[in-house]
A = this chain, B = another copy of it.
Amino acid sequence: MTDEENTQQTEKVENTEKGENIVYVGKKPTMNYVLAVVTQFNGGMNEVTIKARGNAISKAVDVFEIVRNRFMTNLKNKGIVTSSEELTNEDGSKSKVSAIQITLAV
């Protein structure tokens, strides 16, 4: 690896730590993700984004509501955005799946 590549690598990690604090909601219990979000804020983050796709969207909304109502009532909702993502199945065919992105800030 050259020095230049090395520098780029470091920058990328910094950017991620500064700007993109994302909690991906999947199949684990809801409270795992609630804890992940609260931990991010307690670690000094000013903004956390909750992301989910497909059936996990309902759980992402639960996580958001629980964090906001039970743990950190001072949080601001910076916007809920939905989108469609295209997935390629194992047989090569394509499916569309909805996604949600909820951004919270102190």
A: which residues have CB within 8 A of B?
54-58, 61-62, 64-65, 69, 80-84, 96, 98, 100, 102
Looking at the assembled complex, report how far the CB atom of A66 sits from the nearest CB atom of chain B, in whole angstroms: 8
B65 touches A61 (CB 8 A): no
- Given that A80-B80, A80-B82, A82-B80 are contacting pairs, would A54 and B65 also be in contact in the complex, using a CB cutoff of 8 Å? no
Tally of this chain's copies:
2
A82 touches B61 (CB 8 A): yes
Q: Which residues of B contact A102 (CB under 8 A)?
A: 82
A58 touches B54 (CB 8 A): yes
Q: Which residues of B contact A81 (CB under 8 A)?
A: 80
Give complex CA distance A18, B5 in Å. Answer: 60
